[in-house]
Amino acid sequence: MAEQTVLIRIMGESDIVDVTMRKATASHALLMGLDAADRINLLGHWMDQDRGAALAEDQNHLDAMTEIASGILAESPLGAQLKAGANFVLLTLLREKWPVGSKAKFKIIADRVKADHTYLAHPCAAVKLDDLTDLDAVKQEETRQLSMSLAFYKANRRRFANSSAVQGLIKG
């Protein structure tokens, strides 16, 4: 990943925000004291119920979003592809299903970041795009990655909340 730009398209339940991947930095003030799971839940919460686009207009929140998404990808199996030249990744953050009998436990986890749900992060794929400023190509690749991930979403449908947008994708 030496000196190359990697575009991360963060797709939540209701919003999409694009960020440029960064190397790990000192923790952001909004993220202090949060472990990896809490960060995923916070980013998922921000990208739900039409909060993401508005929050991304604030540089402080955009920097925190970038740090969380970059951290998720740095820990993912896609790292080798990024080092090999891939420069675009679609990262989905979707509501997690709370199994009956475990709701109190999940509520405690969600409450740590003042969220209504917990979220599952899924980096779809890493690919090389010729021009990251070509919005049509980026949108086309987003659609392709969602299509390729459909098998994962179907196989894991019970992990996602019934209210999650992925349920419509699976049935559609």
Is the pLDDT confidence value at 172 over 90?
no
Q: Is residue 131's pLDDT more than 50?
A: yes
| pLDDT at residue 155 greater than cutoff 50 | yes
> Per-residue pLDDT tens for 6-28?
999 999 999 999 999 998 766 78
Three-state DSSP class for residue 118: coil
Token pair belonging to 150: 């459909």
pTM of the model: 0.93
pLDDT tens digits, one per residue of 64-109: 999 999 999 998 999 889 989 999 999 999 999 999 888 999 999 9
How far is CA 149 from its chain centroid?
14
Residue 2 has pLDDT above 70, yes or no: no
User: Over the stretch 139-154, which tens digit does the pLDDT of each residue have?
Assistant: 999 999 999 999 999 9
| Predicted pLDDT of residue 79 | 85
What is the model's pLDDT at position 27?
A: 79
- In angstroms, the CA 54 to CA 15 distance is 10
Average pLDDT in the chain: 93
| pLDDT of res. 1 | 41
Q: Which two tokens stand for residue 50?
A: 């039409």
Sequence length of the chain is 172
